Structure 1
Amino acid sequence: MDPVVLSFQDSLLRRSDVALLSGPHWLNDQVIGFAFEYFAAERFKSLSEKVCFISPEVAQFIKYASSQEELAVFLEPLSLATRQWVFLPVNDNANQTAGGSHWSLLLYQRDTSQFTHFDSQNGGNALHARRIAAKLEAFLAEKVPFVEEQSPSQQNSFDCGMYVICNAEALCESVRVEGCPLLPAQIITPTYITRKRTEWYSLIQRLAKE
């Protein structure tokens, strides 16, 4: 049995999903999807008209969509044309399902007309991020440069998903306070990442009780 621990917005977390936060484990698409749902519905609700968080499943679908028509079915309800910043978790799985072995973060910025890729493993996901960017670029009907941005580096093989969550959170906090996404790389250290695992675990337990 793998009982449901939390149902939140469109996210469903089971015991096995939540357990990934409490040890040296690679995070799956359910945990990252929940974090993005929480950012949209609670943490950064005040930015809802400017910021869009794309789920891991939809980001992976975008990467392998076979046509613009197919892509439009998923993207048109998201009103991307009205958003200033769009966050997408990128994984290196080579088929249409979420999964793989590495996560990174892709950010579309309308004000600078740029795709920015934050990868905690030195651009290991660049090919996958570029593929998503190319699909979105066609949908946006404009030429959008792709930039590899310096990202805090993971020191192990399993924390990439936490870097995606923490980088997205820090960028959004910067948008909320400063009006533009800046990554405070010196803050997002391995110790910080470990502490954030505990905080997310506690948050899920608290929401489950409510």
Structure 2
Amino acid sequence: MGSPQPDQKASPRSTPYFNSRAIEERVLEYDDLTIYTSDLRSFQRNSWLTDNAIAFATTYLKNELLKDFVTFDIVVFEPSLIEIIKFSREDELPIKIDKMKFYFFPINDNSNPSISFGGSHWSLLIYDPCLSRFVYLDSMYMYPPTYVTKFVKKASSIMMLDNPAEVLNPICPKMTQNGNCGMFVIEYINVIFHRMLAGKQELYKFPQLSDEFISERRKYWLNTAYNLRKG
């Protein structure tokens, strides 16, 4: 079997925004998110996760795991805001953020600002204030591609760092099935949050994430969403 490739066929993102959301059923309102049928459908086996699916899972993890956690200030950016930062000029970046917080950026490889929900591969960028460095975790590649290094420069700017911060590339689990990159991003965050709660010094130490485990986690997120819907 060859190495996994960015999963363009399975991506629900590469279509204009107007063709689905206006007519789709709203399944769940959670936090400040509206979850649609296509978002939940993307949790089905080997499907490429939508922006909203990523935002839902990462927001839920933060709310449930870290609601009483005070050791660090933690911010998980929604993919939609990351896209705005990616495609804004540095002199028009919309926000300034505190460099003393942990920031989690689920980022994808969309290169076309005219396409809503574009792209075919998810990875995770973290700013770690304890290290004063970014940390890059990718289920396919070892080193950050160009779009990530460009984002690091912009993120460094909105944190008002003197220079773009260095990017560390710790060893992390890699996917063996196309379409699972978004699930790996969610599980990287899940592991890191649990290590924070346990007071571990090494935050970026991961267990293996098997295909079977990822399949079970897809079921978990579907069940979680439906249980929240039932109230």
Same fold (TM over 0.5): yes
**Structure 2 vs 1, CA of residues 133 and 8 (structure 1 numbering), >3 Å: closer, same or farther?**
same
**Higher helix proportion, which one?**
1
Match of 1:99 among 118, 125, 136: 118
Residue matched to 1:53 = 76
After superposition, give the CA deviation of every residue in 1:133-191 in whole Å (9 maximum; x if it has no partner).
11111222233111222221111110000000000111111112125452443342222
Once the 2 structures are TM-superposed, how far is the Cα of residue 98 of structure 1 from its aligned partner? Answer: 4.0
Once the 2 structures are TM-superposed, how far is the Cα of residue 33 of structure 1 from its aligned partner? Answer: 1.0
Task: Report which structure shows greater RCO (CA 8 Å, sep ≥6).
Answer: 2
The SS at the match of 1:136 is: helix
Contact (CA 8 Å) 1:29, 1:99: kept in 2 or not?
no
Provide the rounded CA distance (Å) in 2 between the counterparts of 1:207 and 1:125.
36
**Structure 2 vs 1, CA of residues 125 and 90 (structure 1 numbering), >3 Å: closer, same or farther?**
farther
Contact (CA 8 Å) 2:100, 2:129: kept in 1 or not?
no
Match of 1:87 among 95, 98, 104: 104
Residue matched to 2:86 = 63
Provide the rounded CA distance (Å) in 2 between the counterparts of 1:98 and 1:181.
34
**Structure 2 vs 1, CA of residues 3 and 30 (structure 1 numbering), >3 Å: closer, same or farther?**
same
Letter in 2 for 1:89: P
Provide the rounded CA distance (Å) in 1 between the counterparts of 2:146 and 2:195.
27
The unaligned stretches of length 5 or more in structure 1 are: none
After superposition, give the CA deviation of every residue in 1:4-63 in whole Å (9 maximum; x if it has no partner).
111101211111210111222100101001112212333322347611100111112222
Q: Percent identity, aligned pairs only?
A: 25
Match of 2:137 among 86, 98, 118: 118
User: Larger Rg: 1 or 2?
Assistant: 2
Once the 2 structures are TM-superposed, how far is the Cα of residue 125 of structure 1 from its aligned partner? Answer: 5.3
Residue matched to 2:10 = none
Residue matched to 1:127 = 146
Match of 1:12 among 9, 22, 34: 34
Residue matched to 2:176 = 155
Query: Structure 1 stretch 58-67 or stretch 45-54: which is displaced more?
Result: 45-54
**Structure 2 vs 1, CA of residues 111 and 62 (structure 1 numbering), >3 Å: closer, same or farther?**
same
Contact (CA 8 Å) 2:122, 2:181: kept in 1 or not?
yes
Provide the rounded CA distance (Å) in 1 between the counterparts of 2:205 and 2:213.
12
Provide the rounded CA distance (Å) in 1 between the counterparts of 2:178 and 2:153.
28
- Size of the aligned set, in residue pairs, is 204
Provide the rounded CA distance (Å) in 1 between the counterparts of 2:193 and 2:214.
17
Residue matched to 1:21 = 43
Letter in 2 for 1:194: S
Provide the rounded CA distance (Å) in 1 between the counterparts of 2:204 and 2:73.
18
Provide the rounded CA distance (Å) in 2 between the counterparts of 1:147 and 1:202.
35
RMSD: 2.0
Residue matched to 1:204 = 225
Provide the rounded CA distance (Å) in 2 between the counterparts of 1:180 and 1:54.
24
Give TM-score, length-normalised by structure 1: 0.88
